[in-house]
């Protein structure tokens, strides 16, 4: 018997999708299942997920090791509040993360998504100084930054299309210029000379400004920011929600520069794309500033689903898959990207071709901006040919799951070749 349930009709009548203008009348595509690097629509048509479903799917969809870990955990403990209780999946995840993260990070605050991991980091930084009896209210962030869609994360992000409707409600930050095009160290020196005693923290997306246009910047610039903050005792926050778990080559983008932040924000790929989870890692120095017999010095932040055991189990399983074999797969993707980008760079309409780890990106010559229609055109063009792309306006990028093969990548490159041939 055929199921009479009409997904599209119910969706059209009741669902509200993210980053979507429903008035344009473009119906979302129903997806029935996924496996490996592919999504399958309701007709069974395969679609290569060339952007890892908004950058979260690390090892491939429906990976059996992660699915099994979730199923096993579900039969034991599905959830318990994390205030006053603890459990093995959270403890094992914390130990696993800290074993391979850079520097002397030693405390893990678990939450539920990337924006929240950043919110926690900023609250930690601000209260760190308050607990010390200092009034430091300023955060320094980068031009073109994107840190999430909650209000604190929006405040840190570039002012523009994503934040315009809420601009009156966002707190002010100091802004450093794009480290890919400017002398960020010089500007930071000036800020420190003028306002050092007011600055609580500097936050960066190491090596790659993601939603701001997949802008790659140098390890030298990252090292300069870390050197200056460390010298002045100012906290450095590394937002690796996108760049963590091998996306830029090493497990963490900070490793390109051989530095470690005071606070590290993780999410997206942390569970391999199976369940929402965020993590904010920090040093004992920061934790000890909150450690007191005074309850008012505690970090008053939490979520009903903090340290959800199912999400923790998924994260542990995903973390275990980041082995030498996975590292070789990432290197294969990078080699394929570098061959392809050399070809794309010769096209007259391609600007700023670049590769960083498993990320390939370039601009198509057109008016810059998220609302440039060329992004929607390429999305539709690719989807018709069985490839999922979601350009950031005229910024085109590939960010595939690590299980992607050379033939999978060639499929995506062929779509880009065909689209560029029309320019």
Residue 294 burial class via C-beta count within 10 angstroms: exposed 0-12, middle 13-18, buried 19 and up: exposed
Residue 227 designated active-site: no
Q: Which of 19, 168, 172, 323 is catalytic?
A: 19
Residue whose structure tokens are 């007191």? 292
The helix (H) or strand (E) run that includes residue 118 is helix 114-131
Q: Which of the following is catalytic: 38, 49, 112, 268?
A: 268
402 given a catalytic annotation: no
Active-site annotation holds for 268: yes
* Backbone CA torsion sign across 285, 287, 291, 297: positive
Catalytic residue check, 324: no
Task: Tell me how far apart the alpha carbons of residues 323 and 316 are, in angstroms, rounded to a whole number.
Answer: 13
Nearest to 285 by CA among 65, 404, 128, 100: 128
Strands 263-266 and 278-283: antiparallel
Tokens, residue 153: 């994360």
CA–CA distance, 206 with 238 (Å, rounded to integer): 6
Beta strands in 242-309 (DSSP E): 263-266, 278-283
Distance CA 136, CA 132 (A): 10
Give the active site residue among 112, 239, 262, 408.
Answer: 239
In angstroms, the CA 39 to CA 49 distance is: 6
Catalytic residue chosen out of the listed positions 146, 397, 402, 413: 146
Closest alpha carbon to 319 in 262, 284, 279, 260: 279
The catalytic site residues sit at 19, 146, 239, 268
């Amino acid at each position: 018997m055929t199921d009479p349930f009409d997904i599209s009709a119910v969706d059209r009548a009741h669902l509200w999708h993210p980053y979507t203008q429903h008035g344009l009348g473009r119906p979302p595509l129903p997806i029935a299942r996924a496996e490996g690097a592919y999504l399958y629509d309701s007709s069974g048509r395969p679609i290569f997920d060339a952007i890892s479903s908004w950058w979260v799917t690390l090892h491939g969809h429906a990976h059996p090791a992660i699915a099994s870990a979730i199923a096993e955990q579900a039969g034991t403990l599905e959830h318990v509040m994390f205030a006053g209780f603890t459990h093995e999946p959270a403890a094992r995840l914390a130990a696993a993360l800290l074993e391979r993260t850079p520097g002397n990070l030693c405390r893990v605050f678990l939450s539920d998504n990337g924006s929240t991991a950043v919110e926690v980091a900023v609250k930690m930084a601000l209260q760190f100084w308050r607990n010390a009896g200092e009034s430091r209210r300023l955060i320094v962030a980068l031009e073109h930054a994107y840190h999430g869609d909650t209000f604190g994360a929006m405040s840190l992000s570039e002012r523009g299309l994503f934040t315009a409707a809420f601009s009156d409600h966002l707190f002010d930050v100091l802004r450093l210029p794009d480290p890919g095009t400017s002398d960020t160290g010089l500007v930071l020196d000036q800020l420190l000379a003028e306002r050092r005693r007011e600055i609580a923290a500097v936050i960066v997306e190491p090596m790659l400004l993601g939603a701001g246009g997949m802008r790659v910047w140098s390890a030298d610039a990252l090292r300069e920011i870390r050197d200056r903050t460390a010298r002045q005792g100012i906290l450095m926050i590394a937002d690796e929600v996108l760049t963590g778990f091998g996306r830029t080559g090493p497990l963490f983008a900070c490793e390109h520069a051989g530095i470690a932040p005071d606070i590290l924000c993780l999410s997206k790929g942390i569970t391999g794309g199976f369940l929402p989870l965020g993590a904010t890692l920090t040093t004992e120095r920061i934790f000890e500033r909150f450690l007191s017999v005074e309850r008012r010095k505690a970090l008053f932040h939490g979520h009903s689903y903090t340290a959800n055991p199912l999400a923790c189990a998924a994260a542990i399983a995903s973390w275990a898959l980041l082995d030498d074999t996975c590292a070789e797969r990432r290197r294969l993707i990078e080699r394929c990207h570098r061959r392809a980008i050399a070809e794309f760079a010769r096209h007259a309409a391609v600007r700023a071709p670049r590769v960083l780890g498993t990320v390939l990106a370039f601009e198509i010559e057109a008016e810059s901006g998220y609302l440039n229609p060329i992004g929607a055109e390429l999305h539709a063009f690719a989807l018709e040919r069985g490839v999922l792309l979601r350009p950031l306006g005229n910024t085109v990028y590939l960010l595939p799951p690590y299980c992607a093969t050379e033939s999978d990548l060639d499929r995506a490159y062929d779509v880009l070749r065909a689209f560029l041939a029309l320019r």
